[in-house]
Structure formats: structure tokens, C-alpha cells
Amino acid sequence: MATAVFFHAHPDDEAIATGGTMALMSADGHRVVLVTATRGELGEVPEGLMGPEETLSHRRERELTEACQALGVARNEFLGYRDSGMQGEPTNDDPSSFWRAPVDEAAKRLAELLVAEQADVLTAYDENGVYGHPDHVQVHRVGLRAAQLAGTPRVFMATINRDHIKGLTERAEEFGIADMREMRERRDEIESMGVEATRITTAVDVSAHLEAKRRAMAAHASQISEASFFLAMPPEAFAAVWGTEWYIRLGAPAQSELEGSLVG
């Protein structure tokens, strides 16, 4: 059995981007480890959700613990940096933010865990952090450097298959998803998400684990409400959107068929 370390920027990213893969690998007997760079202190919260003495970082820690239980995560760790906020915000300049962390310093922290776990697999994000968030871009930089330092043999960049998303927007009426119809009118946004299909090396079918993925997403109630695009769509649409998780494996040779697993 393999040990796979999933590296993410904020609590809830793991459920959205790789939750199905994590649940699948755990169910198959692999050891699944989650490392999150920040506690997501700068996330937006619906009015009235938080208790009077509750901080968002503590709330998101609890939500992440619940999500990890749904996904079968064996170990859940934080890298110890502050949320950097969205691109262009003044919080990007906070010296304690993940975005401002020296890459080698942060990579050494992660590499120590990779070595201790004798990790066979590491996932980070693509070079644009999937959609450009500073902390996501930093996950890419830090994750790939940490894998070099630790000698982790299989390294994947979690991403979005941009062509798949475009195809789904064309089928929005079939699924009855208003948000997808609106996305079709915002082509520039789609073009900045993920990568074109030709760059994908690995497509993991997680359709058998969508209930676990949905539970993990719902656990992050401070960020993903039941009425959100993520959770409000009907089951058929949910399966179409989330039933496959996409990766680029570093060093993968040119091949005619996509890989279906992170462990070969």
C-alpha cells in the first residue's frame, strides 16, 4: 500500500479539488495524509453563522476535522502560515502570510513530513494554482520544491480540465444549472481556470465516492452552504461536474491513454 500526501492551501480546498481521490485511496487501503498551508482566516462567512466567541480559524479547523473523517484521512496537519487573501488584496503583503513565505523555508517544513511519512505520492496544484489565488500558486511552488528535497517519487498537480468545463457549460440546460449557463457567458473566466485537456495525464474516476466528497464539502459550512453552486445541483449534475478529478503527473511520458490512478 502507498502513502499519499495531499497538499492544499485552505480548509475546503481538499474536498473540492481532491476529495474523491482521497476517499478512493483510503477505501483501497492506502494511507492518506492531508497538509494544509493555512487555516483560511480570511474566508468570507455568512452572517449569523459564527458563535460570539468563535474565530474563523478555529471554526475552519473543526470543519476540516469533520471533512477528514468523511474522506478517510489518517493524518491532518497544518503548515503554519496565515491566509494571504485574494489576489491583489493588501493582506498579500502580510509577512506571516503563505504568499510571502520563502519557498525553500516552507518546502523544508513540508519535506520533513514527506520524509517522515515515506510518502510515495504528493499532490500540489498546477502552476497557476488552478485559478490564480496567491496561496494556491504558492502551493505549487512549495509542493514541487518539497518533493525535490524529499525525493518523493510520484508528484501530481491537481487541476481542472478546462475543456471538460466548457463542455458542461454547453449542457447547462440539460442539467438545469443556472450558474453554468452564466459561466458560458464568461469565457474569459473559464480560460483562466485549470489547463487544456491535452496537458492532463491522469483522470481519476471518483464516481463511487461522490457521497463522501459531498459530505466533506458540506462539512465546510462556513464556506460552502447547502444553497451554493457546489451542493445545490441535482445528483446527475453533481456527478457530471465532480465525478472525475484531474491531475498532471510530473515527468509522465507521452501516452495515448490517461492514467486512472495516482499509484500506477
pLDDT band at 177 (very low <50, low <70, confident <90, very high): low
Q: Which residues are CB-contacts of 200 (< 8 A; sequence separation ≥ 6)?
A: 159, 161, 246, 247, 248, 258
Mean pLDDT across the chain: 92
CA distances from 99 to 9, 96, 135 (A): 10, 8, 6
Q: What is the pLDDT of residues 3-31, one digit of tens each?
A: 999 999 999 999 999 999 999 999 999 99
Per DSSP, the residues of the chain read --EEEEEESSTTHIIIIIHHHHHHHHHTT-EEEEEEEE--TT----TT-S-TT--HHHHHHHHHHHHHHHHT-SEEEEEEEB---STT-GGGG-TTBSTTS-HHHHHHHHHHHHHHHT-SEEEEE-TTTTT--HHHHHHHHHHHHHHHHHT-SEEEEEE-BHHHHHHHHHTHHHHT-HHHHHHHT-HHHHHTSSB-GGG--EEEE-GGGHHHHHHHHHH-TTTS-TTSHHHHS-HHHHHHHHSEEEEEETTPPP-SS-B--S--
Q: What is the mean pLDDT of residues 165-187?
A: 67
Residue 179 covered by a domain = no
- pLDDT on residue 172: 67
Angstrom distance (rounded) from CA 17 to CA 244: 10
pLDDT band at 229 (very low <50, low <70, confident <90, very high): confident
CATH code of 151's domain? 3.40.50.10320
Largest Cα separation within the chain, whole Å, is 56
Residues 8 and 15: beta-carbon distance below 8 Å: no
pLDDT above 60 for 182: no
Residue 191 covered by a domain = no
Note down the domain range covering 139: 3-162+199-249
Residue 256 covered by a domain = no
Q: How many CB atoms lie within 10 A of CB 33?
A: 23
Q: What is the mean pLDDT of residues 161-173?
A: 82
**More confident: 121 or 43:** 121
Residue 172 covered by a domain = no
Residue 176 covered by a domain = no
pLDDT band at 211 (very low <50, low <70, confident <90, very high): very high
Q: pLDDT exceeding 70 applies to what percent of the chain?
A: 94
Residue 259 covered by a domain = no
Residue 28 covered by a domain = yes
- pLDDT on residue 178: 59
**More confident: 260 or 54:** 260
Residue 183 covered by a domain = no
pLDDT band at 260 (very low <50, low <70, confident <90, very high): very high
- pLDDT on residue 264: 78
- pLDDT on residue 255: 74
Mean pLDDT lowest among 80-89, 103-112, 186-195, 201-210 = 186-195
Number of independent structural domains in the chain: 1
Q: What is the pLDDT of residues 111-150, one digit of tens each?
A: 999 999 999 999 999 999 999 999 999 999 999 999 999 9
pLDDT band at 171 (very low <50, low <70, confident <90, very high): confident
Q: Which residues are registered as beta bridge partners of 33? A: 5, 75
To which residue does cell 525535490 refer?
148
Whole-prediction pTM: 0.94
Best-predicted range by mean pLDDT (49-58, 81-90, 113-122): 113-122
